Amino acid sequence: MFARMRGRFAGLTVGAVMALALVTTASAEGYFTSYMQGVYPGFRSRSWDDNNTDAVSTKVLFRDCIYGSWQVNPVDTDIRLRKHIAWQPDQTIGEDNLSCYVSDSASFGDLAAGKYHFDIKKVMGTEFPSIPLDVDYVRVDW
């Protein structure tokens, strides 16, 4: 009888721990994946709505960056995270440099609710490069 009760108690304990782990596991509110081909500074990503229903940092990931037809190692790309403000210029939330050959990412913290996008500010240190940027894989988590 005690062995059966001890087995049930152990099963309940394991179940409770698993349920707690599922509740406390952080997961992003949303994400999208895409790519960029032939872009220059001034390029604007698609927008997303962050409802701030979680405590996850907004993150932009670039993977497999190519500068023109060369795989320069690394491809330095300055990005700017912007928040849409109705009837006003978009607000710059933060800037970061992605030094990407294989991959690199930028984190901007847990943002307030709003509509966001990123834009390309510089490629290889200049706002006026003569060669376009390609990024085979872009992922944005918020």
What is d(CA 42, CA 65) in angstroms, rounded to the nearest whole number?
17
The count of domains in the chain is: 1
Residue 50 forms part of a structural domain: yes
CA-based nearest residue to 46, from 118, 114, 98, 110: 118
Give the pLDDT band of residue 8 (cuts 50, 70, 90).
low
**What's the distance, CA 99 to chain centroid?**
15
**Comparing 11 with 47, which gets the higher pLDDT?**
47
Q: Is pTM beyond 0.85 here?
A: no
Residue 4 forms part of a structural domain: no
CATH number at residue 123: 2.60.120.380
Residue 2 forms part of a structural domain: no
Residue-wise pLDDT for 47-104, tens only, equals 999 999 999 999 999 999 999 776 677 899 999 999 999 999 999 999 999 998 789 9
Contact between residue 80 and residue 90 where contact means Cβ atoms under 8 Å apart = no
As a 3-state breakdown, the chain gives helix, strand, coil percent values, each rounded to 5, of 15, 45, 35
Residue 23 forms part of a structural domain: no
Residue 25 forms part of a structural domain: no
Residue 108 pLDDT exceeds 70: yes
Residue 7 forms part of a structural domain: no
Q: What percent of the chain has pLDDT over 90?
A: 73
Range of the domain at 130: 31-141
Residue 94 forms part of a structural domain: yes
Residue 44 forms part of a structural domain: yes
**What's the distance, CA 112 to chain centroid?**
15
